[in-house]
C-alpha cells in the first residue's frame, strides 16, 4: 500500500507522521519519486495509519496488492525520458541505437567496434565485462579489466556505456565505469538485487526475464522505482516458448502493450530475442514499427571468433544496412534515429 503525501506538505508534518509510524511499529519506507513524496506500508496497517494524528497529510492511499503503481501510465501519464550524458532515452522523436559486442574481449575488438559506431554517429556502446553464462566453463568476462577497456574507448569516442551488473558485490565497481547499468534476464526477479541497485543514481536497463510475464516485468521495474530510482529503461529480449528453432521468441506485442501500460522507455534487443544474425535487422525494424524507443544489438569485428553470442552478432560491415533499414522504419513512424543528432566529438 502506498501513502501519497499532499504536495503542499510541511517537512515537519512528514517527520511527525514518520515518528508516529515508528512509535506504533508500523513498517514503512519513505520514497521521493517523480516530484512526489510517498510512503509504502503494508495494507494490513491501513486502519492504524488512518487513525494517526498526522493522517491528514495523506492525499490518498493506493492499494498495491500485486499491481505496479509508479511504473504505470495511470500514475504518470507523460512519457519518461532518461538523460544519459545529453542524449534522451525514451524521447518520442527519436529511436536510440545501442550496439556493441556481447562481451568485452580485448582492446582491439573494442577499438574496431567503436570506430565503426562512431562512423555511424551511434551514441551508445554495449558490452559485458561480467557475463552471466549458462555454463560455468564458458567465458565469464574480463571483469575489471573489461570495464577499464570499455570506459577508455568509450571516452575517446564520445560513447555512453551500457554494461551488465550481475551481483550486488559488483555494483560499486561497475558504477565507476558504466553510464547505464544493465540487469540481465536471469536477474530480473532477483528482488533484493534490484533494491540494492536502486540505491545508485545510474539509469537501469531492466531486461525482461526469459520466463516472465509482462506484469512480472513491470513489477520488477516497480521494485526499482519504489526503492527511489526513477530511471528505469525496459528491454524486451525475447522469452522462452515451445519453438526450438530460435534461441527465444521475440515478443513484439509486448512493446506496444508495455508502452500503453507504462510511461517508461521500452527498448528491444533482437539479438537475444532471436539468437540469429540474419533476423536481427528485420526484428529491429519490426520493434521500431511497434513503437520501441530504441534497439540494442550485438556486433563484433569477427563473430566467428567471438567468445560469446557470435552467431547473433552482426558483422561490423552489416551496420550500414542495419542503419538504413531502421532509419527508414523510424521515418515511417515519424521518428529519427538518435544517430541523426549532431554533436561534437569530445576527443581527448
Ligand atoms: C547480454 O545482453 O549479453 C545478455 C546476457 O542478455 P540477457 O540477460 O538478455 O540474456
Ligand atoms: Mn549476449
The per-residue pLDDT for range 294-318, each reduced to its tens digit, is 999 999 999 999 999 999 999 999 9
Phi, psi of 162 (to 5 degrees): -115, 120
Task: Give pairs for 187-195: CB < 8 Å, separation 24+.
Answer: 187/132, 188/212, 188/216, 188/217, 188/220, 189/216, 189/220, 191/220, 191/223, 192/168, 193/167, 193/168, 194/220, 194/223, 194/224, 194/227, 195/223, 195/224, 195/227
Atom of ligand 1 nearest to the CA of 128: 3
Please check the confidence at residue 328 and state whether its pLDDT lies above 90.
yes
The closest-lying atom of ligand 1 relative to the alpha carbon of residue 309 is 3
Atom 4 (ligand 1): residue with closest C-alpha? Answer: 184
Average pLDDT over residues 149-167: 97
**CB of 82 sitting under 6 A from ligand 1:** no
Instruction: List, for residues 222-245, the tens digit of each pLDDT value.
Output: 999 988 899 999 999 999 999 999
The mean pLDDT of the chain is 94
| Cell numbers found for residue 5 | 503525501
Q: Which residues pair with 234 in a beta bridge?
A: 206, 266
**pLDDT band, residue 66 (cuts 50/70/90):** low
User: How far is ligand 2, taken at its centre, from the CA of residue 103, in Å?
Assistant: 7
Choose between 99 and 73: higher pLDDT. 99
**What's the DSSP call for residue 184?**
P
Task: Give Cα separations from 251 to 67, 157, 208, 283 (angstroms).
Answer: 21, 33, 10, 10
Per-residue pLDDT band for 21 (boundaries 50, 70, 90) equals very high
Find all residues with CB under 8 Å of 224, minimum gap 6, and list them. Answer: 194, 195, 197, 198, 204, 206, 232
Give the Cβ contact number of residue 104 at 10 Å.
Answer: 30
Ligand 1 neighbourhood includes 247 CB (under 6 angstroms): no
pLDDT top residue among 173 and 40? 173
- For cell 516458448, name the residue: 241
Residue carrying C-alpha cell 536510440: 96
Specify the pLDDT at position 184: 98
Look up residue 128 and give its three cell numbers.
559485458
Amino acid at each position: 500500500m502506498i501513502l501519497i503525501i499532499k504536495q503542499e506538505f510541511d517537512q515537519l508534518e512528514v517527520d511527525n507522521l514518520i515518528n508516529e509510524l515508528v512509535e506504533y511499529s508500523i513498517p514503512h519506507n519513505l520514497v521521493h519519486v517523480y516530484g512526489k513524496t510517498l510512503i509504502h506500508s503494508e495494507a494490513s496497517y491501513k486502519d492504524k495509519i488512518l487513525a494517526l494524528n498526522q493522517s491528514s497529510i495523506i492525499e490518498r492511499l493506493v492499494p498495491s496488492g500485486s499491481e505496479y503503481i509508479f511504473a504505470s501510465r495511470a500514475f504518470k501519464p507523460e512519457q519518461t525520458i532518461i538523460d544519459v550524458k545529453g542524449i534522451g532515452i525514451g524521447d518520442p522523436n527519436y529511436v536510440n541505437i545501442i550496439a556493441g559486442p556481447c562481451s568485452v574481449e580485448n582492446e582491439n575488438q573494442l577499438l574496431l567496434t567503436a570506430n565503426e559506431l562512431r562512423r555511424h554517429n551511434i551514441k551508445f556502446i554495449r558490452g559485458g565485462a561480467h557475463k552471466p553464462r549458462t555454463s560455468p566453463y564458458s567465458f565469464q568476462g574480463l571483469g575489471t579489466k573489461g570495464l577499464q577497456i570499455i570506459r577508455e574507448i568509450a571516452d575517446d569516442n564520445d560513447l555512453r556505456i551500457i554494461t551488465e551488473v550481475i551481483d550486488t558485490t559488483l555494483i560499486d565497481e561497475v558504477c565507476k565505469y558504466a553510464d547505464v547499468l544493465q540487469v540481465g534476464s536471469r536477474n530480473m526477479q532477483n528482488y533484493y538485487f534490484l533494491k540494492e541497485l536502486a540505491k545508485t543514481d545510474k539509469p537501469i536497463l531492466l531486461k525482461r526475464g526469459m520466463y516472465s510475464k509482462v506484469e512480472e516485468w513491470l513489477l520488477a521495474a516497480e521494485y526499482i522505482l519504489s526503492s527511489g530510482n526513477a530511471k528505469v529503461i525496459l528491454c524486451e529480449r525475447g522469452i522462452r516458448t515451445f519453438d526450438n528453432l530460435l534461441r527465444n521468441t521475440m515478443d513484439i506485442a509486448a512493446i506496444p502493450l508495455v508502452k500503453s501500460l507504462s510511461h517508461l522507455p521500452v527498448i528491444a534487443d533482437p539479438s537475444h530475442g532471436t539468437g540469429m544474425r540474419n533476423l536481427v535487422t528485420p526484428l529491429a525494424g519490426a520493434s521500431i514499427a511497434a513503437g520501441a524507443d530504441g534497439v540494442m544489438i550485438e556486433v563484433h569485428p569477427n563473430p566467428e571468433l567471438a567468445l560469446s553470442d557470435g552467431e547473433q552478432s552482426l558483422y561490423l560491415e552489416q551496420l550500414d544496412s542495419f542503419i538504413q533499414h531502421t532509419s527508414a522504419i523510424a521515418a515511417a513512424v515519424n521518428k529519427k534515429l538518435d544517430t541523426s543528432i549532431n554533436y561534437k566529438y569530445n576527443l581527448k
